[in-house]
Copies of this chain bind each other. A is one copy, B any other.
Amino acid sequence: MKKVLLALVAAMLAATASLGAVTVEREAAAGGGTDSEPSATNVPGAAYPRIFRDKRVEFRIVAPAAKAVAVELLSGKRFPMTKDAGGSWSVVTSPLVVGFHYYSLNVDGVSMNDPGTNTFFGANKAMSGVEVPEDGAAADVVADVPHGDVRIRIYKSKVTGQWRRAFIYTPPGYDRDAARYPVLYLQHGSGENETGWTFQGHANLILDNLIAAKKAVPMIVVMNTGYASQADGPFVAPPSSSPHRSSADFMTFERVMTDDVIPMVDSTFRTIADRDHRAMAGLSMGGIQATDYATRNLDLFAYIGGFSGSMGFLEPEAHDPATAFGGRFKDGASFNKHVKLLWLGLGTAEGPRFQKGMGAFRSVLDKAGIKYVFFASPDTEHEWLTWRRDLNDFAPRLFK
């Protein structure tokens, strides 16, 4: 009976899909085996990509006229696909690193989305994503606990004159009580935007789960766009030779934070509007922004996190705390007294550039006697699972 129903649903879906010349193979029609299941990122009913228990992933696309098709992960891996008699191209990859991966299908040299998945904003465009789940992990998945809302909020920037959008998490209970809450400002990476921490990062689910387990205190999380540019102002480049920099004018971004975002949040939400109840963290480019901006504005922030990004992509030569970064790390005792938490994290599978930059910054901190937490995410790359784990370790340490 269930099979008949699924077939019926599939037939109806196929009828609808034909309107858009869609080549998504739907779950019921494909009848995937029990040793694999569709990626959690798939559009409803799409059978591919699908994940095997041993972390191999099967991709499939219909392209009868194509000469060469390959799966290209944004992280760099490439898997050529082979064509069957029906014009479908497919590949089963080697086991992938766990977590969320941006990817494209390269069809005769053109990078396209996989019509089987939802899209996620990365590399400055809407990209396909595939989720290889961790065994037994529960921190970043939807659970039977109270859920906060993520609010899509529009606000006008006085600094740039433009309308901007932020995604703002309010914790469970926010609408029922009259309490005031601390705030975490949480930044995305280069090529991403304000949607990343919700749709790729599951920040809302991670906070829901931590708050339900009483591991983290209820907090507001502001996920704001990390780009800002002032039409006629001077352009100020990022403080490093980061290949990840984008259109973000870092100084304008900081002015937007100070003059627009923080005042908007404090006047709109029931916040505790002081430094002891304000944190800032970010990933990659956002980690550079968070560590650089927050350490120059200790009157605003007492908690600081750098997820796979900290003060730029530093070279490993000796940095003297007395002079590096304007000397702001030279007085370790004062820094330790002022900053309640400096938290740094990195995936153990991240490339040498990231290891090197983080190592160089840690050596500055070590020389100055600055206390910090360092978290190494086992076996994950410069990708979202690293940053989900970072948030899961970082958030419980805040506002206590």
Q: Interface of A with B (CB < 8 Å)?
A: 1-2, 5, 8-9, 12-13, 15-17, 19-24, 43-46, 61-67, 72, 74, 102, 104, 106-113, 115-119, 121-127, 142, 144, 147, 149-156, 163, 167-168, 175, 190-191, 198, 204, 227, 229, 231-232, 235, 243-247, 268-269
Contact = CB atoms under 8 A, between A and B. Distances in A.
A20 B125 contact: yes
B124 A24 contact: yes
Contact of A110 (B23, B43, B46): B23
Given A111-B115, A151-B150, A268-B175, A24 B72 contact: no
Given A12-B246, A243-B15, A244-B16, A66 B124 contact: no
A147 B153 contact: yes
Given A20-B74, A142-B163, A147-B155, 15 more contacts: A1-B232, A2-B232, A15-B243, A16-B243, A16-B244, A20-B102, A23-B110, A43-B124, A45-B247, A61-B110, A65-B109, A66-B108, A113-B126, A150-B152, A151-B152
Contact of A24 (B17, B125, B245): B125
A232 B127 CA distance: 35
Given A65-B108, A124-B45, A156-B144, A191 B231 contact: no
A125 B22 contact: yes
A191 B9 contact: no
21 contacts: A8-B235, A16-B244, A17-B125, A17-B191, A20-B127, A43-B124, A45-B124, A46-B125, A63-B110, A65-B108, A65-B110, A107-B112, A112-B112, A112-B113, A116-B125, A117-B126, A142-B154, A149-B153, A151-B152, A154-B204, A175-B268
A235 B246 CA distance: 50
A209 to B, nearest CB: 12
A115 B12 CA distance: 29
Nearest to A227: B44
Contacts of A2: 231-232
A16 to B, nearest CB: 5
| Among all A-B residue pairs, the 7 with the closest Cβ atoms | A20-B123, A112-B112, A149-B151, A119-B126, A150-B152, A65-B108, A147-B154
A26 B74 CA distance: 20
A109 B112 CA distance: 13
A245 to B, nearest CB: 6
Contact of A115 (B8, B125, B142): B125
B235 A111 contact: no
Contacts of A67: 65
A124 B246 contact: no
Contacts of A24: 124-125
A5 B53 CA distance: 49
A169 to B, nearest CB: 9
A7 to B, nearest CB: 10
A191 B19 contact: yes
Contact of A124 (B13, B106, B191): B13
Nearest to A122: B20
Contacts of A227: 44
Contact of A111 (B22, B150, B156): B22
Contacts of A64: 109
B111 A113 contact: no
A183 to B, nearest CB: 15
A12 B110 contact: no
A22 B126 CA distance: 10
Contacts of A117: 126
Given A111-B115, A125-B115, A235-B9, A16 B151 contact: no
